Amino acid sequence: MRVIAKTFGIHALTAEDIMMQEAREKVELFRSYYFVNYRTFEQDTNSEDYLEPVNMYVVVFREGVISFHFSQTPHPANVRRRIRQLMDYLILSSDWISYALIDDITDVFGPLIQAIEDEVDDIDEMIMQMHPSSKDGSSSGSLQPSFAPGEMLRRTGECRKKVMGLYRLLSNKADVVKGFAKRCNEQWEVAPKSEIGLYLGDIQDHIMTMTGNLTHYETLLSRAHSNYLAQINILMNERQEQTADVLGKLTVLGTIVLPMNIICGMWGMNVKVPGQDIESLTWFWSITGGLIFFGLASFLIAKRVYKIV
């Protein structure tokens, strides 16, 4: 890096920012060049560092451009391909190349944000359909989610993580591009021409749109997260009500059976009881009929008067 800095006249502050991998995005003007720090991200979906920030440093001279990056990134190759396609139609200066790098980095966020939008819509729709209602507007009775327990919470968390990661990458870019475009009108020999400022204004509009979309998606995911937790609470409340209903029925059954056990226990004691010396089954059927009548009467009272069963 010292050899490159000495050869091309790069200032020590610029070389230090590159070697230290300065993360703050910025545009700085020097005597013979301007320095752009514009971050992209790891785009390999199979990589462990997927969506992690990747610093892209560009030193722009009047005669050419030097770019620095510490991991594989497709942007320089994309810009070279774009140069080969447009070299017969446009005057491609070093300022245009720096704009093309910034534009290529900005464009790579578009497909990701579109995928996040589809994911957010899918999550929101699935959560709202967790607890369907009947035609009269009442609950259909029980929750029947079509996904495994915890899957929706995991999907929501991963989607929010992506949104916040992209928001972190895009949050400072609008100010950087705005400052870059502003310098196009300054009376600096190394500053880009005003035509590049028009291109940068278009990039700034895209960044503002994507940032606004990410803010909207985060709001939707936050609402979906709250709705999901509310649906889980409804599920738990329904199961508690079902359990309480079963316990209430068992309590009524136990209340009805307890006096019967007392009567049966009294007639089953090894002592003198009424009807013991009578050879007929009159006492047996009378007691049995009384117990049956008591049970039916208690059941009807519990059902119609107290509405427990």
Cα separation, 28 vs 237, in Å, equals: 60
Q: What spatial distance separates the first Cα and last Cα of the chain, rounded to whole Å?
A: 84
Cα separation, 126 vs 159, in Å, equals: 14
Burial class (CB in 10 A: 0-12, 13-18, 19+), 17: buried
pLDDT confidence of 107, banded at 50, 70, 90? Answer: very high
- Helix pair angle (173-183, 151-170), 10° resolution: 20
| Cα 131–chain centre separation | 20
Domain boundaries, the chain: 1-106, 248-305
- Helix pair angle (173-183, 94-107), 10° resolution: 160
pLDDT in tens, 217-263: 999 888 888 888 888 888 889 889 989 888 888 888 888 888 888 88
What's residue 108's pLDDT? Answer: 92
- Top CATH class, 1-106: alpha beta
CATH code of the region 248-305: 1.20.58
- Helix pair angle (151-170, 109-128), 10° resolution: 150
pTM of the model: 0.71
Burial class (CB in 10 A: 0-12, 13-18, 19+), 28: middle
Cα separation, 255 vs 11, in Å, equals: 92
pLDDT in tens, 125-173: 888 777 655 444 454 444 455 566 678 888 888 898 889 988 888 888 8
Tokens of 85: 């396609």
Same-fold call for 1-106 versus 248-305: no
pLDDT of 269 > 90? The answer is no
Task: Count helices and strands (H / E) in the chain.
Answer: 9, 6
